[in-house]
Structure 1
Amino acid sequence: MPLSRSLPAWYRRLPLTVRLPAVVALMIFAAAMGTTQLALQSVSRQFEAQMAGIGQVYLDGLSAALLPALQSGDAQAMVGVLQRSLAVTEGVEDRWLAVLDAQGQTLARAQREGQADAVWPEDVLAAQRGARLTDDAQGVWVWRTLDGTHRVLANLDVTTFSQEREQLRWRLVLLDLLVSVLCAALGFGVARQMQRPTALITQHLQKGLALPAELIDASDPESARLMRAVNRMADDAREREAMMGLLAEQEREAVLGRLAATLAHEVRNPLGGMVTAIQTLRKFGDRTDAREDALNFIERGVLALREVVDATLTTHRPRGSERRLSLQDLHDVQRLVAADARQRGVTVRVDAQPGLPDELPVAATEVRQVLLNLLINAVRATRAGGQVLLSVRRDAQALVLEVIDEGVGMAPEVAESLVRGEPRAGQGGLGVAVIVRLVQQLRGRVSVDAHSRGGTHITLQLPLELPPDP
């Protein structure tokens, strides 16, 4: 999970120009307080070491007075030495004094008036000499050996020193708190000042404006370079937006031009067939069968024109009510190219598989357009006296349409465009682009066998829109 997600929501809502200085100030404050705590701990250790040193110095003098009495085994003399020591109150004040044997038994002891009986610490016998604060930190136990076996023990009153230490601790804490707050505030201000260029850049970028020259501080070379770079980037962005707008307008005009050219290309062929039917009607209008056939052909041509216009102007196939392909559509395509074929001396023949149903489950409009374009190209590629064949058959899952001509062969790059479904500008004219678009719309596949002597053999495989299994 990103670190920012683990931060409180209120902190994430703060501006970056506040968050970063706040973090800097907090880090400075924590560092200052932490160093003070370390210093206080060091002072405490030094205090304890000083108390232990003072205690050992005190015991040195006391030991010198006790040794003669200890060597003579005079317990009363040892008690007298201890009591006289208690009577001296200048400097360090002692509370309890005692002399212990090797087993920790008390040989002599004395205590200041008003003091309760002392409980000797159990760790006195663990070391030759030592010091330890009492539990209330108001006294310190110190001890040392006298002759290798006996020990002298004292409890010294350090209340005054403890109070002074505590006062010193609070003064240091308050001073450190004040210094930490001042340093944190200074760090916050410095961080905010350092972020000022970033804040200015963000403010102007949000408005889509370049930074004015008077806001660029030349005395700060790094910030000045950053601001000038942002200005160049903003200028480049505006130029790119203007260029993209111009390109979009040009592309729109180009699309409209291609749409108009494609529509004109697709409409021209049915119109040519209708002109031929009108000429037939004028020539053989007195014959009922010829007149009926011509009128039916003109009607189908008008319907085909409407379907061509609808299919060209829409971006998706019509749903539900789209007309299915019929065998009559195949013969209509043959008649549409017949006039052009006669002028070129080319024969166009349709070879349909026996037993084909009158209606096939594929879109009629798209198939008619594809076949019309393929047959027109085939007729124009075939020499006079040649033949163009349209073969139609059906297998289990697809309708297979083959257009075979006896021309000079299709250019390899045009054949590749048809097979790959990627027409290139200037290759094959509008017809190739229309074929590719319609075959993709029909979810079909194209294969091309083109060579210079045997003409071109184009195979279309169009999946049938079969009803679902019951």
Structure 2
Amino acid sequence: MPRSPMTRWIHRLPMTARLSLAVVAVILVTALGTTQIAMQGLLRQVERQIERTGQIYLDGLAAALLPPVIANDAPGIQRALDEALRMHQGLVDRHLFLLDTDGRILARADRVGLPEAPLPKAIAEDTRGDKIDTNDGSYWVWRPLSDDRLLAGERAGALTVVANLDLADYVAERQRLWWRVVVFNLGLGTVCALLGVLVMRRLQRPLDLLTRHLQRTGEAGPEPVAETLIPPHDGENARLLRAYNRMAGAAREREALIARLAEQEREAVLGRLSATLAHEVRNPLAGVLTAVDTLRRFGDRPAARAEALDFMERGLRAIGGVVDATLATHRPSAKEPAFDPRDLQDVQRLLAPQARRAGVALVLESRLSEAVPLAGGEVRQVLLNLLLNAIQASAQGARVTLRCEPREDHLWLEVADEGAGLPGPLAASLERGEAPAPGAGLGVAVVVRLVQRLRGRVAVQAHSGRGTRITLELPFDGGGPADPPPAP
């Protein structure tokens, strides 16, 4: 249900202002309610007094009418009514009636200058009663004319005497009294409401102070309340504000600690990033240096020179890919070339110098004949790290084998060595895709991160003293082999 503009305006006010308005509303409603109750009680008392006065008036009028009624003297009855109109000191009567048993008028007297007034319908319904007519400011009262002397004529209760009295002054005074009481109560309620607002504002002053300081909370945390602003003689509010100051101090210390930890974390991330970047660049750079050495030794041979230059170009592009990936916050490029057989040959050429220096045979067994939809640079980085670790873990004369086989929806790769066996924690990190403990080496951490990005799975078979076999299953991005890359 949509809210009214007044409701929306009230909801936009601060809580302290809404509380003050609520106090004002309660006081004013209470003042108006008590005014109405008091006025109703006063009016009921005045109406009872008027009723008693009307009955007393009818007593006198009945006493004047009884003799001519008993004597069945119609002119005497009229004289009695006219005399009653003429003789008045307090109440002013307007119209007087004597009715028969059928409600017909036997006699009547009207004050000169006043129009004839019709009888109220209530006279025909009730034998006795009264009614205040606020339209003309008059009062109707009636009752049966009864006396023991009328019993003999069997006319007891047969006649009804009716009087219409002038209460215009009373009605006007009642209106004036009602307005005076309303105005007085409204003024008194307004004064009480203002006093209540002042008292509430004074009581809310510590809460307002606390609210302003909370609203000024910045990056450094909540702002403490100055000691000079804490009320010295208000124990409860002073304890509240000092408790807030303790909380604000603790929050600011926590924010400062978080900032220091964030700075340390940034420095650590930068250190790890630099180490990872150096680690990833080192392998292609070694291949480039090997190609330079080949150029120096066989530069006069066109085939060797072309192969070395091509190898150097791919190595430098691999370094560029590592840098681009690092600058892109480890997000793979959408245009990264697919993985193809040349990547396997580059990996073999890059690691051949390390394998020769270690006396390890590096063997490639591949059934890959065309490009597959995988990020070529990332797969190369995974294979370089795994093979480099395998070479370093192998003894002289051992054999390190890389097997590659494209399957229906993924690329199957296996790196096998004859070393001492991968330690259990590192094997578990690879299989669960979790970063290894600090100090375990950057190679495993890089492999875990890249395999997660490639959405691959890793299985490790490590046997102490009998080598390690690491199997990777890398799902294709497009569900099948990719289009062959263009010839360089």
Whether these two folds match at TM > 0.5 is: yes
Q: CA deviation at 1:50?
A: 2.5
**Counterpart code for 2:141:** V
2:197 corresponds in structure 1 to 188
- Equivalent residue in structure 2 for 1:253, among 260, 263, 267: 267
1:148 corresponds in structure 2 to 157
Q: CA deviation at 1:202?
A: 3.6
1:447 corresponds in structure 2 to 458
1:463 corresponds in structure 2 to 476
2:57 corresponds in structure 1 to 58
Q: CA deviation at 1:324?
A: 3.5
Question: Cα 1:384–1:53, aligned 2, differ >3 Å: closer, same or farther?
Answer: farther
Structure 2 residue 442 is the aligned partner of structure 1 residue 430:
yes
Question: Cα 1:62–1:413, aligned 2, differ >3 Å: closer, same or farther?
Answer: farther
Instruction: Give the 3-state SS of the residue equivalent to 2:161 in structure 1.
Output: strand
1:32 corresponds in structure 2 to 31
Contact 1:347/1:387, CA 8 A, preserved across alignment: yes
Once structures 1 and 2 are overlaid, which stretch shifts more, 431-440 or 396-405? 396-405
Contact 2:27/2:192, CA 8 A, preserved across alignment: yes
Question: Cα 1:332–1:229, aligned 2, differ >3 Å: closer, same or farther?
Answer: same
Q: Gaps spanning 5+ residues in structure 1: where?
A: none
1:45 corresponds in structure 2 to 44
Contact 2:405/2:412, CA 8 A, preserved across alignment: yes
Contact 1:407/1:456, CA 8 A, preserved across alignment: no
Distance, in Å, in 2 between the alignment partners of 1:163 and 1:280 is 125
**Counterpart code for 1:93:** V
Question: Cα 1:135–1:290, aligned 2, differ >3 Å: closer, same or farther?
Answer: closer
Q: CA deviation at 1:397?
A: 4.3
- Equivalent residue in structure 2 for 1:417, among 416, 429, 437: 429
1:311 corresponds in structure 2 to 325
Aligned-residue sequence identity (percent) comes to: 47
Distance, in Å, in 2 between the alignment partners of 1:424 and 1:45 is 93
1:200 corresponds in structure 2 to 209
Q: CA deviation at 1:224?
A: 0.9
Contact 2:360/2:395, CA 8 A, preserved across alignment: yes
Q: Gaps spanning 5+ residues in structure 2: where?
A: 146-155, 218-222, 484-488
Deviation by residue 1:125-169 (Cα, 9 ceiling, x = unmatched):
222321111242511111112333432211111123223222322
Distance, in Å, in 1 between the alignment partners of 2:256 and 2:8 is 42
Distance, in Å, in 2 between the alignment partners of 1:408 and 1:68 is 145
Distance, in Å, in 1 between the alignment partners of 2:211 and 2:20 is 17
Once structures 1 and 2 are overlaid, which stretch shifts more, 263-272 or 151-160? 263-272
**Counterpart code for 2:241:** M
> Under a length normalisation based on structure 1, what TM-score does the superposition of the two structures give?
0.85
Distance, in Å, in 2 between the alignment partners of 1:80 and 1:411 is 136
Structure 2 residue 336 is the aligned partner of structure 1 residue 337:
no
Question: Cα 1:8–1:288, aligned 2, differ >3 Å: closer, same or farther?
Answer: closer
1:163 corresponds in structure 2 to 172
Q: CA deviation at 1:371?
A: 0.9
Deviation by residue 1:378-420 (Cα, 9 ceiling, x = unmatched):
3445566654432223345443333344556555544443344
Once structures 1 and 2 are overlaid, which stretch shifts more, 402-411 or 263-272? 402-411
Once structures 1 and 2 are overlaid, which stretch shifts more, 330-339 or 186-195? 330-339
Instruction: Give the 3-state SS of the residue equivalent to 1:7 in structure 2.
Output: helix
1:393 corresponds in structure 2 to 405
Deviation by residue 1:16-58 (Cα, 9 ceiling, x = unmatched):
6555434433442343234323433433333333222221232
Distance, in Å, in 2 between the alignment partners of 1:393 and 1:154 is 123
